[in-house]
């Protein structure tokens, strides 16, 4: 049974692998097989209008549409609907549900049909928003019978006409605008980097091949090497917005094969934290700008997808990776759930700094204090990664060593390494996934909702 929390392939961080290994509830949820009238289980499906105090503490099965869903920390609240009746259902991490099962519930699309097993519980305070006000369903098992996301995407032009879609993409246009406005005010220059490249310079595994006249070429996995070459060419502070291509066979809520990268690269004086601060400030300016200029759009989306307003601190919280790991472990929480840090610090935006060198790309600058660490960082929104960045190696000798260590063919990155031979300033940068920022700012649960015409291993149309 494919689950929505399938682990990501490729250069993945170890925490996600741990994550997948520990799902003690994995038999309790998933995509149901299509009912082809093969079996006749003696399971009674209860009607929502019959879920009253009289049924309190009974275990029941319900088949219903998902009317709304709202995840918050370790809980997910669903409103289940049958015609004009609806009831609140709760999936919470505990004996019956794992973290992954809560995530799965949160990712079920509205209007999907689900089969749910749960205990009917009396509530202390009436649930004003539901017709069944006196009880809620505590979910023990859930099966998603059908999803309509594909239907929506197949008919994307009509789906984009809904007020929610209109608001989502107007806000996304605003993110791009605020990103550029902020950076141009900071003296950055916008650059355009080629997408067709001659060699799979960032590792061959996840790259698309293009027929280029009589030869092969590749689609750029990021503008990384080119934005660094612009720093070597003395542009000092550059940014670009453009498509990024990843031939990863990942079918998760947050992976696309083509997405829009908001990229920054910048020379600094003495410490890469100068750059980290500029990037964090840029994101804060985006959050502020959205909350100031796009309230109507935020409220429109919230009507269909209720969500807490996005919270952030100034200055932005920055923790070292090891420090955060130790803190979470001290609290009995396994690393891999960066989301928990949100609640500890009451912020939806934070930075983890100093990742292990081994899990970062070859061009990442090692940490001079600790050779196992690196001057690299990720930024998180609502507990999910939206940016990966680092100080880059600007010394051609060290860069060559690190490339060899990673088994990279030097011939293929000759132009890149040569760029550093004629003098390069220290520099750092990062790449932001536009669709993820939109998704997480609005508290949505699938990156396909924030890509107009999403591309994944199974979808190339419309």
Estimate the share of the chain in helix, then strand, then coil, as percent rounded to the nearest 5: 30, 30, 40
Distance of closest approach, residue 403 Cβ to a second copy, in angstroms: 16
Based on the residue annotation, tell me whether 254 is a catalytic residue of this protein. Answer: yes
Binding-site ranges for a second copy (CB under 8 A): 156-158, 160-161, 165-166, 169-170, 172-173, 176-177, 180, 184, 189-198, 208-213, 215, 217, 219, 226, 229-230, 232-235, 241-243, 245, 247, 249, 257-258, 260, 415-416, 418-419, 422, 434, 451-453, 455, 457, 460-462
* DSSP conformation letters of 326-388: HHHHHTT--TT-THHHHHHHT-SEEEEE--BGGGS-TTBPEETTEEEEESEEEEEETTEEEEE
- Which of 246, 392, 427, 445 is catalytic? The answer is 246
Selected catalytic residue, list 117, 181, 384, 385: 385
Q: Would you say 314 or 418 has its CB closer to a second copy? A: 418
Hey, what are 432's tokens? 């932001």
Shorter beta-carbon distance to a second copy: residue 105 or 244 = 244
DSSP string, 27-83: GGEEEPPP--S-----PPBPPGGG-SGGGTT-EEEEEEEEEEEEEETTEEEEEEEET
Answer yes or no: 342 catalytic: no
- How big is the chain by its Cα radius of gyration, in Å? 24
- Residue 277 Cβ, how far from a second copy at the closest point, in Å? 23
CB of 191 to a second copy, least distance (A): 6
Catalytic position from the list 436, 445, 448, 451: 436
How many CB atoms sit inside 10 A of residue 212's CB?
A: 12
- State the number of CA atoms in the 13 A half-sphere of 309 facing the CB: 10
Whether 421 is a known active-site residue: answer no
**Any catalytic annotation for residue 43?**
no
Structure-token pair, residue 313: 């601190």
**Shortest distance (Å) from residue 439 CB to a second copy:** 14
The single residue of 65, 81, 144, 254 carrying the catalytic annotation is 254
Alpha helix segments (H runs only) across 189-254: 224-232
Complex with a second copy: residue 405 or 414, whichever CB lies closer:
414
How do strand 370-374 and strand 196-197 relate by DSSP bridges? unpaired
**Angle 275-278-282 (CA atoms, 0-180°, nearest 5)?**
140
Active-site residue, 248 included: yes
Nearer to a second copy, 238 or 276 (CB): 238
Least CB distance to a second copy at residue 226 (A): 6
Toward a second copy, which CB reaches closer, 249 or 314? 249
Residues marked as catalytic? 246, 248, 254-255, 385, 388, 436
């Amino acid at each position: 049974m494919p689950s929505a929390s399938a682990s990501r392939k490729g250069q993945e961080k170890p925490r996600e692998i741990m994550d997948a290994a520990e799902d003690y509830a994995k038999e309790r949820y998933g995509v149901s097989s299509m009912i082809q009238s093969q079996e006749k289980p003696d399971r009674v499906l209860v009607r929502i209008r019959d879920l009253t105090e009289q049924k309190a503490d009974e275990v029941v099965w319900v088949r219903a549409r998902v009317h709304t869903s709202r995840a918050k920390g370790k809980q997910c609240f669903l409103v289940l609907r049958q015609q004009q009746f609806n009831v609140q259902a709760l999936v919470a991490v505990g004996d019956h549900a794992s973290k992954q099962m809560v995530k799965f519930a949160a990712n079920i699309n509205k209007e999907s049909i689900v089969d749910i097993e749960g205990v009917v519980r009396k509530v202390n305070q009436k649930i004003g928003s539901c017709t069944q006000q006196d009880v809620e369903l505590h979910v023990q098992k859930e099966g998603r019978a059908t999803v309509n996301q594909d239907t929506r995407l197949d008919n994307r032009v009509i789906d984009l006409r809904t007020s929610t879609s209109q608001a989502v993409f107007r806000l996304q246009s605003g993110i791009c605008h605020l990103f550029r406005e902020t950076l141009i005010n900071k003296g950055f220059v916008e650059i355009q980097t080629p997408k067709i490249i001659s060699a799979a310079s960032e590792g061959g595994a996840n790259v698309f091949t293009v027929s280029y006249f009589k030869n092969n070429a590749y689609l750029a996995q990021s503008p990384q090497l080119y934005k660094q070459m612009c720093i070597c060419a003395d542009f000092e502070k550059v940014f670009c917005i453009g498509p990024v291509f990843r031939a990863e066979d990942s079918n998760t809520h947050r992976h696309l094969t083509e997405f829009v990268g908001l990229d920054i690269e910048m020379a600094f004086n003495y410490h890469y934290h100068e750059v980290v601060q500029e990037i964090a400030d840029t994101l804060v300016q985006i959050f502020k700008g959205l909350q100031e200029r796009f309230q109507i759009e935020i409220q429109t989306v919230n009507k269909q997808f209720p969500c807490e307003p996005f919270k952030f601190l100034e200055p932005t919280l920055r923790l070292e990776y090891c420090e955060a790991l130790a803190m979470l472990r001290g609290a009995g929480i396994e690393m891999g759930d960066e989301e928990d840090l949100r609640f500890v610090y009451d912020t939806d935006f934070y930075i983890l700094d100093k990742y292990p060198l081994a899990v970062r790309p070859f061009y990442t600058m090692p940490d001079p204090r600790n050779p196992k660490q690196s001057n690299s960082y990720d930024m998180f929104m609502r507990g999910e990664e939206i940016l990966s960045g680092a100080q880059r190696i600007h010394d051609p000798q060290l860069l060559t060593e690190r490339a060899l260590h990673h088994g990279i063919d030097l011939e293929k990155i000759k132009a890149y390494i040569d760029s550093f031979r004629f003098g390069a300033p220290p520099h750092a940068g990062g790449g932001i996934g536009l669709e993820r920022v939109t998704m997480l700012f609005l508290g949505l649960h699938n990156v396909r909702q924030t890509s107009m015409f999403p591309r994944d291993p199974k979808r190339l149309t419309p």
